[in-house]
Amino acid sequence: MHISTEAVQIGLDWDSRTGAVTVPIYQTATFRHPGLGQSTGYDYSRSGNPTRQALEEGIARLDGGARGFAYASGMAAITNLLMLFQRGDHLIVTEDLYGGTYRLFEQIFHQYGLEFTYVDTSSLDEVAAALKPNTKALFVESLTNPLLKVADIRALSNLCRERQLLCIVDNTFLTPYLLRPLDLGADITVYSASKYLAGHNDTIAGLVVAKDPQLAERIYFLQNSVGAVLGPQDSWLVIRGMKTLSVRMDRQQENAAALASWLEGHPTVAKVHYPGLAGHAGHDLLKGQARGFGAMIAFEVTDPALVETLLLKTRLISFAESLGGVETLITFPELQTHADIKAEIRARLGINNVLLRLSVGIEDVNDLIADLEQAFAQEEKGEA
């Protein structure tokens, strides 16, 4: 069955008693036992809730994994995964990753004795060179945030398998609709489900899928013990969003390709980072391992003064953090999403004072281009 059909079917057969087409919201903390030593399969919503379970089973099917897990946020999901490790363990990590993940690693888990080395995970050689005797895992973004570098998931998974490391892939930018890392050999996928999966900028959620049943049991123990689970209302919102994942992603990708081409030809745009462009370093690799290129664009303008103009003078495109919703958003990584990364590291990576990030929505692309065009024009007229 095609993944777009699988997504639409999530939760459809959950309530056979009433035949409800959408899974009910089981807004309950606890469940009544039918008898002494007996259970309906649900005891307490931290340990399991039917609405959350429908979501967890749905994302597991979409990703081709043994089991899925839903958390209160993407950061909660990653935090839970880090509890698989212990003091002295070393992880290799994508260097230009989301700033919130970097903050979690460096300001929280570093003090508990975990070690992190940040490398360009689009280079297999750099990953191999970073290996240590105490390396336990690779944490890689399938498309990096914000520079959109492409990781060779199959090659990295093979390297991890040879060294008996866990391969954890943050697949937020591509979703299982475009890329299924577990099919390429990864052990775990993680998502900020607030983004493309929920898709409407109206909920915060995180999802994890484990490929191996034994690993899934370890993750469930941590999920239940720590308790940073997703509530039933938000679980329902993510399910609702996932049902339209394919049609949204198709439209967003189409818009992104047109916008990237338009930006590439603009005289005040110095560089466009979008893997769908033939000149992008990861274009061929992503074309070979994914069904598409996603809908995120990063671009550099020629003058820092243009940054504020584009952030504040666009009328249709909103200046806001986050991404993946139906509305097009623009943000400034240096001061917004990646502010917690040290300035010298940002400068080395290219997260600079002229870099902007676009999350392309489902609006008519001609309206989006016109909005950017009028904002650029205001700077040219000195109206910024």
Catalytically active residues are 46, 98, 170, 195
Q: Sign of the C-alpha dihedral, residues 9, 177, 77, 216?
A: positive
151: which 2 tokens?
């990781």
Strand partners, 93: 118, 139
Strands lying side by side in the sheet with 90-94: 67-71, 206-210, 188-192, 166-170, 135-141, 90-94, 115-119
What string of H, E and C letters represents the secondary structure of the chain?
A: CCHHHHHHCCCCCCCCCCCCCCCCCCCCCECCCCCCCCCCCCCECCCCCHHHHHHHHHHHHHHCCCEEEEECCHHHHHHHHHCCCCCCCEEEEECCCCHHHHHHHHHHHHHHCCEEEEECCCCHHHHHHCCCCCEEEEEEECECCCCCCECCHHHHHHHHHHHCCEEEEECCCCHHHHCCHHHHCCCEEEEECCCCCCCCCCCCCEEEEECCHHHHHHHHHHHHHHCCECCHHHHHHHHHHHCCHHHHHHHHHHHHHHHHHHHHCCCCEEEEECCCCCCCCCHHHHHHHCCCCCCEEEEEECCCHHHHHHHHHCCCCEECCCCCCCCCEEECCCCCCCCCCCHHHHHHHCCCCCEEEEECCCCCHHHHHHHHHHHHHHHHCCCC
Distance of CA 318 to the CA centre of its chain: 20
Question: How far is the C-alpha of 35 from the C-alpha of 26, rounded, in Å?
Answer: 21
